Amino acid sequence: MSAVAKSTSEILAWVADVFETPPEKIRPEMKRDEIDAWDSLGILTLIARMDEDFQVLLTEDEIQGLRSVGDIIEVLRRHGQAGGAP
Amino acid sequence: MARREALRKAMRFLFVDRILDMIPGKSIEAEHVFDGGEDFFRDHFPGFPVVPGVLLTEMMGQAAAMCLDAESRGTGRGKAMLAQIRSASFREWVKPGETTAIKAGIRSSRPELATAACSAEVGGRRVCSAELLFSFLPLGHFASGYRDEVLEAYLSSPGREKG
């Protein structure tokens, strides 16, 4: 687990890096189908990066529940990796 | 190697000759020799034959996949399939006839994906490395009776880890 929970803006930058998308284009309300790289391979990349960067091992239910950038932030918050600050 | 044998090998897409050591789902050491009979050396490059980086990556991927497949036996997870080359570096040329020592360490292995840190050496010098991501394809997609002959040979050899 990371020593310090990331801010929302840091998580958004991380999401942008995972999906190889310009950071300015990533917003919490964005749905999965609005991000081109969030396809079947993108899901695998997201799961792997969650594990490597945050030591968060998502359950099958958590994986199925990821439908927006906000969902990613929320699941990281539940695992103590996102602090909720801007 | 006889020309006939070289041609037989050239028609295969198998870049692991044998597994030297393996802990299923954890690590693998293997080796491969590109003997020079492969067709791609005619074009890559005339007068300067070297193994293409994509094939070095495939070679590392095949070795890592064998390590994962050994772990998956009997679990229904399916066969490991290279899904993403997350990074790759090529440091030295690999020439025909050189024995390439392959190493892969499995970083994470889950039901839906796995990641591996791989490298290869020739004569103790690192020639390439890669971070690879794998997904899994149910065995029902493959021809009935399909088996990984290199992995099976290792697992059936006396005194080897049976995982």
In a domain, A69, yes or no: yes
ipTM, 2 dp: 0.72
With contact defined as beta carbons under 8 Å apart, do B151 and B19 qualify? yes
Ranges of H-type helices in B15-137: 53-72
Give the separation between CA B28 and CA A27, rounded to whole angstroms.
Answer: 42
In a domain, A85, yes or no: no
Give me the CATH number covering residue B143: 3.10.129.10
Q: What is the pLDDT of residue B7?
A: 56
Give me the CATH number covering residue A53: 1.10.1200.10
In a domain, A41, yes or no: yes
State pLDDT tens for residues B22-63: 999 999 999 999 999 898 999 999 999 999 999 999 999 999
Q: How many domains does chain B have?
A: 1
Q: How many domains does chain A have?
A: 1
- On the CB side of B122, CA atoms within 13 Å amount to 19
In a domain, B83, yes or no: yes
Q: How far is CA B81 from the centre of its chain?
A: 11
Band (A3; pLDDT cuts 50, 70, 90)? low
Q: With beta carbons under 8 A apart, name residues in chain A contacting B112.
A: 44, 47, 63
CA distance B116 to chain A (A): 11
Q: How far is CA B158 from CA B153, B154, B155, B161, B162, in A?
A: 10, 9, 8, 9, 10
Question: Where in the sequence is the domain holding A59, given as residue range(s)?
Answer: 8-78
**Is B84's CB within 8 Å of A44's CB?**
yes
In a domain, A84, yes or no: no
The B99-109 sheet, strands edge to edge: B18-23, B27-33, B99-109, B114-122, B125-137, B79-90
Q: Is the pLDDT of residue B160 over 90?
A: no
Q: With beta carbons under 8 A apart, name residues in chain B contacting A46.
A: none
Q: Compute the radius of gyration of chain A from its Cα atoms.
A: 12
Ranges of H-type helices in B31-136: 53-72
Give the separation between CA A39 and CA A20, rounded to whole angstroms.
Answer: 12
Put simply, whether A29 touches B (Cβ < 8 Å) is: no
**Is A41's CB within 8 Å of B83's CB?**
yes
In a domain, A23, yes or no: yes
> Which residue type does B52 have?
P
Q: What is the pLDDT of residue A82?
A: 82
Question: Where in the sequence is the domain holding B54, given as residue range(s)?
Answer: 3-156
How confident is the prediction for chain B on average, in pLDDT? 92
Q: What is the helix (H) or strand (E) element at residue B33, kind and residue range? A: strand B27-33
In a domain, A3, yes or no: no
> Is-above-0.95 flag for pTM?
no
Give the separation between CA A14 and CA A20, rounded to whole angstroms.
Answer: 10
**Is A52's CB within 8 Å of B107's CB?**
yes
For tokens 């870049």, the residue is: B15
Helix (H, G, I), strand (E, B) or coil at B85: strand
